[in-house]
Structure 1
Amino acid sequence: MSPAQQPPQRPGGPKDADSGPSGLMDLLGVAAVLLEADGRIDMWSPQAEQLFGYTGSEALGQYAALLLLQPEHRDAAIMLFAEVMETGRGWAGAFPVRHKDGSTRMVEFRNMRLTDNTGDHYALGLATDRTTLRQVERGVALSTRLVTQAPIGLAILDTDLRYVVVNPALASMHGVAEAEHVGRRFGEILPGAAFQDAETAMRRVLETGVPVVDRQVVGRTRADPEGDHAWAVSLYRLEDQHANVLGVANVVVDVTDRYQAARRADRAQQRLRLVANGSARIGTTLEVERTAQELADVVVPGLADMVAVDLLDSVLQTGRTDIGEGPALFRALAVKTAYPTNAAQAIVPPGRLTTYHADHPAAYCVRTRKPHLITHLDSGEHTRIATDPEAASLLARAGVHTDIAVPLIAREQVIGVMGLARARNPVPFDEDDLALACELASTAALSIDNAVLHHHIRSAAETLQRSLLPQLSPRHPGLEVAARYRPAQAFSEVGGDWYDVIPLEGDRTALTVGDVMGSGIPAATAMGRLRTATSTLADLDLGPARILTHLDKITSGLDPYIATCVYAIYDPHHARLQVASAGHLPPVLIRAGRAPELLDLPTGTPLGVGGVPFETTTFDLRPGDQLVLYTDGLVETRSDPIDQRLDDLLRLLTGPDHSTEETCDRLLQQLRHPAGHDDVALLIARAQPQPDARGTQP
């Protein structure tokens, strides 16, 4: 509407929005007509001209009944007019009226008698098009029913965001009566951070006129102060026909069921991801502590704010779940928290032994084989999940409010317990969380039990392996000798590597290194038999090739095992070294003042293959020279070419002269990976000057 079309303002009158004209009268187009006592038209409004079609000059002074009514309706109208003028009682109703264009229209009338200051009577008629009136009535009725009976929440707020109208549905959602809404601000009815964004959105809608549709708001109202509800909120700016801003309409639909279903679906997806993550990440090695830590890494922070994984110490020590009399003794394996917290000090650190009181969830799990869920910990109840009062105080101050303990069960035996807690996460554990924790614990328990079993088998094999290796004297005629044996790391089984130094007649010494292919106790046993056979054959004063031939026949009887071996005999009186190889990596010869070199030997076939002769090669080994024998665990890796690794070995043997002991340690430190998957046997012999008959060095 242009400024010229705006209704005039009375000078000095109020200028706020409430004082402006209502658009409803304009929408109805109410016409005013004043009749004299004899029925002639005395006054004619512009709205009358629009409603009936006659201008003022055409209507003024005319009898209304003759101008506006069809002949068949005039008598009835005259009688009603007379009654109004005689009694002073108003009349309301609809009459067919003849429009100037000849058409007939139903018009709604309100007629009343007016009296001037001289006592003369007039009739005032207010009229509007009945079709328009019925449309407005239907709209009002529909709006009234919609507001009062609709299950969705409806409200109108003014420009100060004060409630003007609230329907019963919204009042019920808020837990505040309809009458208590009116005149109060939005923030008074719905305080708190959860609704601040909605209030900001309302102000933006008032300012811009851009509506907001289906904006989700999650919070708590007086109707249910203990539970979260979700609403889909739509906001629209209200204006009258003159574009004056009246306020904002608020349409609210309770979508709590949909919100909770979405949350449940999201939690289900999270649980599936956790289970999949656990299957992929738990049990990647056969190390007990690492497997427990993998379990802790999966559940924090996805399921809990903090976790502790404990194993029965009897399982670690003996492989059995014999807890004996009294409280069970646990060894802490893994601890993790989602964020730095003093509560970590209340958890038994990894490696520490501890017992729990009879009411502790861990003790309950061992006793009953069942999980234990505490949905809510009240003040003073933290002693239930703590080892002592100080730990209980730390857990309480950290805000721990819910707890789960789950037994680790393998081979139908409880081998340990996983404990979970939440503090910063305000949602208490529920049955779904318990089921997820049990599933992850079941996966981890099997992996931990396998790791424990592997640990015991490996310990037995390593003990057997070490018991079968010789106790070397560092000094032999004309030789300084050092040797090392390193088993495979914890996630691999012990193999069949060995070394030996055997004294022979004439001050000679046999040096041998071998590797039985395979692992575990059977490989260690086969290694022991070969070492015993080698020592026995050495006493027969046979050459290296003959020794390997006999060992080949013996190994053939150890089916399915085969082995590689290097056998050497050193004669200090002739400074001579005889060497034969059965499929083994070449030894390194270090001559004084020269670069280390790999001995060029006929490789031969591994022991146990059979049918292939072995050859003996002779070299000089003078005082100061060194011979390095080793198994493939020293140089082979899963990623590097063997030629490169042999070059690394030669490089490390180049340089300043060191004792054989120092050289062994340096090679193991530089070449062997901390997580080496194979055993290593290493033997280094340095030729020494022979004393003369008087016992002095030449």
Structure 2
Amino acid sequence: MSATEVSRAGPPPPGGALTVLDPSALVLDADGRVVLWGPQAQELFGHTAEDALGRPVGALLVDPQHRASAVELFTGAVAEGVARSGTVPVRHRDGSTRLVQFRTMRLRGADGGYFALGIATDQAALLRVERDLALSERLVSQSPIGLAVLDPELRYLMVNPTLERLNGLSGRHLGLTVREALSFMDAEPVEADMERVLATGVPLVNRFSVGPTPADPGREHAWSASYHRLEDRGGRVLGLAVSVVDVTEQHQATLEAAAARRRLAQVADASVRIGSTLDLDTTADELAEVCVPDLADLAAVHVLDCVPAGRGEGVAVPEGSPRAFRPPSVASAGPSPVASALGGAGGPVRCAAERLITRCVNAALPIRLSRLDRRDLAHIAPDPQSAALLARAGAHSYLAVPLIVRGRVLGALDLVRCGNPVPFDEDDVVLATELAARAAVCVEHARWYQHQRHTAETLQRSLLPHRPPHQAGLEIAVRYQAAEAVCDIGGDWYDAIPLPDGKTALIIGDVMGSGISAAATMGQLRTATRTLAALDLEPAAVLSHLDRITADLDHRFATCVYAVHDPQRSQCRISSAGHLPPVLVRPGRAAPALLDLPTGAPLGVGGVPFETTCLDLAAGDRLVLYTDGLVETRDQPIDARLAALLLLLERHRLPLEETCDLLLRALRRPGDPDDVAVLIASVQPPG
């Protein structure tokens, strides 16, 4: 601003230190008489100009005992031409006494004469200002809070040592703009906040910033800054006051608490998502998917193809041994080609001893690599092509944790970070270990379930005929489909037994209950049925004998249809023990229909007679026998399901094997809780 602009603007409004001190001016001639008396002097001493002008200053203001020293301050300055200062007790016009600080100096007039100029300040006011200045200086210099004053152009005028230390710019702030001083961070939002406070006068408090500093470039710091506008007593804007608090520790604690909450949420999510089924592959898939993308960009679950039985911490596997794993379950946050980089597809995967996943399993300990090089990638990926794929994807950190339950290692969880720039740390190891521990229990349950299911299904199938015998005058097709749950596998069976004179016994049955014990009961009944069939008895008689036998078998009940086909008479004699009615299909002559048989009581009830019904069968006629697992559901009435069975048989005239597949495909649902047996016999023309 030019001098002309200052003149036009007028004098600045009163304020500042001079207003606080309010010094008084008086001028004495060479004889010590007052020749100039200002209004501030009147306020300080109580005498008007008319009272003071022309009077000796000593007689006017000072008691006799202090008069000589007071006059010396003025006369000495005039005689020697050297400024002097001192404190003198001054008598106020009202009779009171106060200490006044004088500073005197010599003035020369137009006529060559000398005068003494005295500047007087109330000693009490001066002491208050000095005290406040000293206190302010101490507070500013020793404050643990960073403090600064900036001018209206946002250039630093004052910075305390704390702020210099926070910004890492010791002794280099003064005169710099905000952008120049804070070049190590994004200063634009900070500058915008300051300009807003200068413009509006409304303070801004606790403005949060994060970034490194020149003094500590390898660590992220956090600050909370507050800004308020500085004004003098007249309201003129002097600049901006800034206070900055280092809240790095609080910020780090907040981040750690947030990370802990995320880990707890992820563990809770894993508890819900992992183990939704008792399928081993599904469980492994769920673990891999839970880890991506929150924990890793690429996850693979390797389950050992064979786990030795037993308990205890010791895993009797030499450190340098290769291991065989099931095909890994892989989840990726990136493109699908990267997902194949941690494991192959198809059958079991054999991993060399050098693979990190093998070392993790053999040692039963986590393996963490914060930074990866090409050599590390070669020990992570199954082949050089996969290692190159990981390198192109930006893989930079690796973590593997074992799946352990009751001291046995079941496999390992493989984790890789590509897009996430932060390497794995100890907190990630803790989280991954927790996820792996929870998943390991589910994997163990899935293994046990599959083993039990395989055992029950193997027993069930071993008790059924592998293929129906080729019988004169009949073509037979059979199917057995186990239930999804191991506890539901059990008592359904079918059989076709050759009898004398070319006859064939056809049996379909269902032991009530499930599990291995039901399968064992079924095996006993099937053996008994074959023994009774050899006696060539009437169907009702066979069922009566089976009824007595069943009553002695562990309180079990069973339903059964027993039919005997006689090709010489073109007849079928049939009896039912509480079983669903067979379907008779007469192609070209009548629609498929349920046989109207005397239902009878289930086997094992005892004391209920059975009846035999005789049917005439012609070439091409079909008899469809089935268990309740084919048609019974929880959400549909049995009549509707039986109608659906008849409709399928009417609309589709397929070969027997294809008809069996059609019925199972159309009427069964995934997860149906019961096993099912189907037997279809078609009468063949003589020949």
Shorter-chain TM-score: what band? 0.7 to 0.9
| Range with greater deviation from structure 2 (464-473 or 167-176) | 464-473
Which residue, out of 206, 211, 215, partners 1:219?
211
Which residue, out of 673, 677, 689, partners 2:669?
673
Letter of the structure 1 residue corresponding to residue 648 of structure 2 = L
Structure-1 separation of matches of 2:13 and 2:43: 23
Structure-2 separation of matches of 1:609 and 1:18: 119
| Range with greater deviation from structure 2 (524-533 or 143-152) | 524-533
How far residue 114 of structure 1 moved from its aligned partner, in angstroms, is 1.8
Query: What does the per-residue CA deviation read over 1:24-78, in whole Å, with 9 as the maximum and x for residues that have no partner?
Result: 3334333333333344444444544555566666765565556656777656533
Provide the secondary structure at the position in 2 that maps to 1:11: helix
Q: 1:12 to 1:287 in 2, by over 3 A?
A: closer
2:491, 2:518 within 8 Å by CA — same for their partners in 1? Answer: yes
2:166 aligned with 1:173: yes
| Range with greater deviation from structure 2 (386-395 or 533-542) | 386-395
Matching residue of 2:335: 340
Letter of the structure 2 residue corresponding to residue 661 of structure 1 = E
Query: What does the per-residue CA deviation read over 1:146-185, in whole Å, with 9 as the maximum and x for residues that have no partner?
Result: 22111222223344443332222222223331x1222333
Structure-2 separation of matches of 1:180 and 1:347: 53
Over aligned residues, Cα RMSD in angstroms?
3.9
Superposed, which structure 2 residues align to 1:152-551 within 5 Å?
152-177=145-170, 179-191=171-183, 196-315=188-307, 327-340=322-335, 343-351=338-346, 353-378=348-373, 381-472=376-467, 479-489=474-484, 494-505=489-500, 508-551=503-546
How far residue 309 of structure 1 moved from its aligned partner, in angstroms, is 1.0
Structure-1 separation of matches of 2:595 and 2:125: 114
Structure-2 separation of matches of 1:264 and 1:51: 64
Letter of the structure 1 residue corresponding to residue 212 of structure 2 = R
Provide the secondary structure at the position in 1 that maps to 2:416: strand
**TM-score, reference length from structure 1:** 0.85
| Range with greater deviation from structure 2 (385-394 or 42-51) | 42-51
Q: 1:360 to 1:198 in 2, by over 3 A?
A: farther
Structure-1 separation of matches of 2:438 and 2:466: 44
2:656 aligned with 1:663: no
Provide the secondary structure at the position in 1 that maps to 2:329: strand
Structure-1 separation of matches of 2:267 and 2:625: 49
2:487, 2:515 within 8 Å by CA — same for their partners in 1? Answer: no
Matching residue of 1:5: none
Provide the secondary structure at the position in 2 that maps to 1:226: strand
Any stretches of 5+ residues in structure 2 without a counterpart? none
Structure-1 separation of matches of 2:308 and 2:560: 37
Which residue, out of 68, 78, 92, partners 2:71?
78
Query: What does the per-residue CA deviation read over 1:412-431, in whole Å, with 9 as the maximum and x for residues that have no partner?
Result: 33232211122222332222
Letter of the structure 2 residue corresponding to residue 187 of structure 1 = R
Any stretches of 5+ residues in structure 1 without a counterpart? 1-7
2:57, 2:71 within 8 Å by CA — same for their partners in 1? Answer: no
Structure-2 separation of matches of 1:149 and 1:624: 108
2:545 aligned with 1:553: no
Superposed, which structure 2 residues align to 1:113-124 within 5 Å?
113-124=106-117
Q: 1:33 to 1:631 in 2, by over 3 A?
A: farther
Matching residue of 1:608: 604
Structure-2 separation of matches of 1:586 and 1:514: 12
1:299, 1:307 within 8 Å by CA — same for their partners in 2? Answer: yes
Q: 1:657 to 1:382 in 2, by over 3 A?
A: closer
1:33, 1:126 within 8 Å by CA — same for their partners in 2? Answer: yes
Structure-2 separation of matches of 1:365 and 1:47: 90
How far residue 194 of structure 1 moved from its aligned partner, in angstroms, is 5.7
Q: 1:572 to 1:9 in 2, by over 3 A?
A: same
Structure-2 separation of matches of 1:655 and 1:230: 76
Structure-2 separation of matches of 1:188 and 1:352: 63
Query: What does the per-residue CA deviation read over 1:560-607, in whole Å, with 9 as the maximum and x for residues that have no partner?
Result: 543332333445666655443334334344555655554455544433
2:143 aligned with 1:147: no
Q: 1:469 to 1:242 in 2, by over 3 A?
A: same
How far residue 290 of structure 1 moved from its aligned partner, in angstroms, is 0.7
Structure-1 separation of matches of 2:546 and 2:343: 54
Query: What does the per-residue CA deviation read over 1:421-471, in whole Å, with 9 as the maximum and x for residues that have no partner?
Result: 222223322223222222222222232233223323333433333333234
Q: 1:570 to 1:35 in 2, by over 3 A?
A: farther
Letter of the structure 2 residue corresponding to residue 36 of structure 1 = D
1:472, 1:501 within 8 Å by CA — same for their partners in 2? Answer: no
Structure-2 separation of matches of 1:51 and 1:618: 140
How far residue 618 of structure 1 moved from its aligned partner, in angstroms, is 5.1
Superposed, which structure 2 residues align to 1:31-180 within 5 Å?
31-48=24-41, 51=44, 64=57, 76-95=69-88, 106-177=99-170, 179-180=171-172
Q: 1:284 to 1:517 in 2, by over 3 A?
A: farther
Matching residue of 1:4: none
How far residue 357 of structure 1 moved from its aligned partner, in angstroms, is 4.2
For these two proteins, the number of residue pairs brought into alignment is 682
1:285, 1:491 within 8 Å by CA — same for their partners in 2? Answer: no
Q: 1:672 to 1:162 in 2, by over 3 A?
A: farther
Matching residue of 1:3: none
| Range with greater deviation from structure 2 (599-608 or 283-292) | 599-608
How far residue 370 of structure 1 moved from its aligned partner, in angstroms, is 1.9
Query: What does the per-residue CA deviation read over 1:104-147, in whole Å, with 9 as the maximum and x for residues that have no partner?
Result: 65544333222234332222233344444444333322221122
| Range with greater deviation from structure 2 (152-161 or 216-225) | 152-161
Provide the secondary structure at the position in 1 that maps to 2:4: coil
Provide the secondary structure at the position in 2 that maps to 1:228: strand
2:184, 2:213 within 8 Å by CA — same for their partners in 1? Answer: no
1:287, 1:491 within 8 Å by CA — same for their partners in 2? Answer: no
Matching residue of 1:584: 579
Q: 1:90 to 1:366 in 2, by over 3 A?
A: same
% identity of equivalent residues: 51
Q: 1:245 to 1:80 in 2, by over 3 A?
A: closer
2:630 aligned with 1:634: yes
Letter of the structure 1 residue corresponding to residue 295 of structure 2 = L
Provide the secondary structure at the position in 2 that maps to 1:309: strand
Structure-1 separation of matches of 2:44 and 2:2: 25
Structure-1 separation of matches of 2:316 and 2:519: 30
Structure-1 separation of matches of 2:37 and 2:3: 23
Structure-2 separation of matches of 1:210 and 1:54: 45
